[in-house]
Amino acid sequence: VGTAQAINARAALHCDVMAVERASAKQIRAWRKPAKNYGMTIMAIGSNDPPGRTLQRGLAEIRRRISTRRVIWLLPHSRPAAYAVASVALIF
């Protein structure tokens, strides 16, 4: 939420925001799939989940559902969670 607010405050064109504070990957997977095709998407997911295979599978599912050409992944501070996010980013 904070990242999206900072980007929208500085950008002439505002971005679509799909965010809820402290949302887990499991919660995000339950959200409605965006109907729009995006040129670029910024994803900041994984900070509120325990690192591991479940997080990796959830992130991969979320990434597959978003129609976008490019994704910028913001890595969580936790090294194990950051590794899970980075491993999914490399797949796509």
Summarised one tens digit per residue, pLDDT across range 8-58 is 667 656 678 888 889 999 999 999 988 899 999 999 999 999 999 999 999
Number of domains in the chain: 1
Instruction: Single out the residue of 17, 79, 20, 81 nearest to residue 47, CA to CA.
Output: 81
pLDDT for 83 equals 96
For residue 71, name the pLDDT band (cuts at 50, 70, 90): very high
The pLDDT of 51-75, averaged and rounded, is 95
For residue 6, name the pLDDT band (cuts at 50, 70, 90): confident
CA distance 6 to 74: 14
Instruction: Single out the residue of 43, 57, 46, 67 nearest to residue 91, CA to CA.
Output: 57
Question: What's the longest Cα–Cα distance across the chain?
Answer: 39
pLDDT for 17 equals 84
Q: Residue 17 CA to chain centroid, in angstroms?
A: 11
Q: Which residue has the tokens 């990957």?
A: 25
Containing structural domain, residue 45: 2-91
